[in-house]
Amino acid sequence: MNITTRLATQADIPACADVHIESCLDIYRPFISAEVHTKTLPDNLNAVWADEQLENGDFIVMAEDAGNTVGIVTVRNQSTPYIDHFHVTPARKSGGIGRLLMRATVTEMLKRGMDHCYLDVADGNDAALAFYKAMGGEIGEFIEGDLFGTPLRAQIIRWSDLLKLNL
Ligand SMILES: CC(C)(COP(=O)(O)OP(=O)(O)OC[C@H]1O[C@@H](n2cnc3c(N)ncnc32)[C@H](O)[C@@H]1OP(=O)(O)O)[C@@H](O)C(=O)NCCC(=O)NCCS
């Protein structure tokens, strides 16, 4: 494996969108209706990515293999920094790319003075939950959320001190 990581630029947005949409189609099918899966989900995400501007300190770390994007992490620069997307392309899951992305994202956050962060994960996405636990995430409370208009609980995961993480 010769995976590299780097910060995405605005020109990389379409490639990041492709990874995100392919991954969401792959994992969220059990949580939503066929109609939402085939239409609402891709329509919604295409619209979201068309508006992505990477402004105000938001950033995306991307993983590449021979020029192909194989994973993305989007960080929103909020008072508590928020990990908005964390996805590895489906065919490349469980091969260490997520860990590489986590390391690169934490390094970038610390460089920017961000020493804590959080995310939410759909209740039932057990593989991602196990991954975040393995990455030192602290399991938090459930919140009532929604997935492309379908009500769904999600669980908060926090990292309260990124300086102490040992990945
Ligand atoms: C969750 C995700 C980002 C993890 O990335 P990955 O490249 O698959 O994970 P890695 O191979 O780097 O795994 C690192 C560690 O996480 C844990 N882990 C990863 N996948 C796991 C799984 N399916 N079950 C249990 N533990 C898992 C293991 O401890 C693993 O360490 P090991 O390889 O030494 O056993 C990736 O699987 C993914 O994109 N999933 C679909 C999208 C998703 O659910 N994103 C989260 C939305 S909130």
For the chain, the domains span 3-164
Name the band, by pLDDT with cuts 50, 70 and 90, for residue 156: very high
Q: Which residue's CA is the nearest one to ligand 1's atom 15? A: 131
Ligand 1 center to 96 CA (angstroms) = 8
pLDDT tens per residue, range 55-86 = 999 999 999 999 999 999 999 999 999 999 99
In the predicted structure, residue 43 carries a pLDDT above the cut 90:
yes
In the predicted structure, residue 4 carries a pLDDT above the cut 90:
yes
127 lines ligand 1 (CB under 6 A): yes
pLDDT score, position 24: 97
Q: Which residue's CA is the nearest one to ligand 1's atom 48? A: 121
3-164 CATH, one of 3.40.710.10, 3.40.630.30, 3.30.413.10, 3.40.50.1100: 3.40.630.30
Q: Which residue's CA is the nearest one to ligand 1's atom 7? A: 98
Write the DSSP string, 90-143: GGGTTSSHHHHHHHHHHHHHHHTT---EEEEEETT-HHHHHHHHHTTPEEEEEE
pLDDT tens per residue, range 103-140 = 999 999 999 999 999 999 999 999 999 999 999 999 99
Ligand 1 center to 149 CA (angstroms) = 26
